[in-house]
Chains A and B, each alone.
Chain A
């Protein structure tokens, strides 16, 4: 170092920072909050080893303060969570309904393994039995291994069940799985680039464009990123968690069990809205009906609606909008246009 002989015999900035980082991790460990209002002197009073380190030179303290300020700044990343998600975390009882994939673990502590990977190399043309529903349709399937699948509207999947393996390929749509427990034959669900492996539980999958969503009401769900060569799980979800996972990352939301269950109301041919933006509610109806509901004004698309409707009873919802909100309705062939 150019000036080391002149300045106090300090370790290099590199060395200091490395030591400071290990102290930051240690201090952070003792901190269960997310505030990081770290009072170093306070902490030093409780940790003699730390006090020895921090009092070696002002440079030691400065190196640590630098890292603490970096650590504090990461808090701003919280803004990346969507507003809905932030609300969900704070108050799960007044949430807009968002369509999710729901995994309902039947037995209390059964572990579901969800794997995400780029599975382009896996079966281009899936073998097995094909099942399909049209818009508005719903279908119950009993598989040879004792597992059950419930297909929601506009869904197509192929089930390949044999002595060695259990693979379901979800082409599109949403399905609820009740998987019989079989340690030796993991139940794998392939949804595009992503795969879900289930050891035995109840589980629903909604294939979205680039992601899958997993929600847990009981037990644990483990998500793996199969592209991670170290084979560490991506994350383990517990009851009340919903995760939206895509290749290389996840977004975690905590929810009320009631809401997880409400989102499964499609199984009883209901759509259940709780304070959902009108635009989302319309999209939800459009999953089940050939007649498309179109919200013309961006103004009214944000209006929140609540209520429980039969999936095929679009007219009831339209009446609700006209009588309840005084919106205007016009019809053109296969569309119902709603305007303010």
Chain B
């Protein structure tokens, strides 16, 4: 396992996705259009990063993400026929804030746990129970269904709703220690183990 070459998907999850909260902050700051678009923009940036990495994985990951985001915003403004002034107010100053790229935003394990706990609390009760049994106690979906006295189809649908709910809650708050990963990958690209 240790020596196996890290797949692109693994790299993406461990090195890129932890920057998503910072990316969202950047997009919210610089894109004053209807805020629901920001999720789409974020998805588009991440997809562009993923596609680019299929050729060549960037070394300075966070800077690469922000550059991609800035390019996307510039494209959009250029292509749009009608642009509301306020949506692009910072076009000229879309520079990537250096404090954002360089910042050592470490989330402690305790803080991460707090985020997750809050995200769990936001789930509907039954949904939360399903996620707990599956993820904390490690029961299979089948076993979870048996224990809760509900159908396996219901468990599957609770998991579907649960992961979306968690994703929404976590989207804005936490930034897992991506910096730690970067430090590690510089020394010797090792797969970060779950702690």
Contacts and interface: CB of A to CB of B under 8 A. Distances in A.
B57 interface: no
Return the 3 tightest CB-CB contacts between A and B, nearest first: A34-B138, A13-B43, A25-B160
A327 to B, nearest CB: 35
B135 A77 contact: yes
Most chain B Cβ neighbours within 10 Å, of A2, A72, A248, A252: A2
Contacts of B51: 58
Interface of B: 7, 9, 12-13, 17, 20, 33-34, 37, 39-44, 46-47, 50-51, 54, 72, 75-76, 79-80, 109, 112-113, 116-117, 120, 125-126, 129, 131-138, 140-141, 146-150, 152, 156-157, 159-161, 163-164, 166-167, 170, 176, 194
27 contacts: A1-B40, A3-B75, A3-B80, A6-B79, A13-B42, A13-B43, A17-B164, A21-B164, A24-B160, A25-B160, A25-B163, A32-B140, A33-B138, A39-B9, A58-B47, A58-B51, A58-B54, A61-B50, A66-B17, A66-B167, A67-B163, A72-B194, A73-B116, A74-B131, A74-B135, A79-B109, A248-B125
A71 B136 CA distance: 11
Given A28-B141, A58-B50, A66-B17, A40 B129 contact: no
Contacts of A17: 164, 167
A234 B129 contact: yes
A85 to B, nearest CB: 10
A78 B195 CA distance: 11
A79 B46 CA distance: 30
Contact of A25 (B34, B126, B157, B170): B157
Nearest to A6: B79
B140 A76 contact: no
Contacts of A26: 156
B9 A1 contact: no
A291 B129 CA distance: 43
B165 to A, nearest CB: 9
Interface string A199-236: 00000000000000000000000100100101011111
A55 interface: no
Contact of B163 (A6, A24, A80): A24
Contacts of B76: 2-3, 6
B161 A230 contact: no
Given A12-B40, A236-B149, A65 B12 contact: yes
Contacts of A76: 109, 112-113, 116
Nearest to B138: A34
Nearest to A7: B44
Interface string A59-101: 1011101111111111111111100000000000000000000
A237 B139 CA distance: 13
Q: Is the interface of B mostly helix, strand, loop or mixed?
A: helix
A75 B156 contact: no
Interface in A221-262: 222, 225, 228, 230, 232-238, 248-249, 252
A100 B148 CA distance: 22
B164 A80 contact: no
Contact of B137 (A7, A21, A25, A252): A252
A232 B149 contact: yes
Given A32-B140, A57-B47, A77 B152 contact: no
B123 to A, nearest CB: 11
A70 B146 CA distance: 25
Contacts of A7: 44
A63 B148 contact: no
A46 to B, nearest CB: 16
A162 interface: no
A35 to B, nearest CB: 9
Given A7-B44, A65-B17, A252-B137, A77 B166 contact: no
A76 B116 CA distance: 8
A28 B76 CA distance: 37
A62 B166 contact: no
A26 B159 CA distance: 9
A3 B79 contact: yes
A29 interface: yes
A10 B157 CA distance: 24
B140 A75 contact: no
Contacts of A78: 135-136
B149 A65 contact: no
Contacts of B125: 225, 228, 248
Contacts of B156: 25-26, 28-29
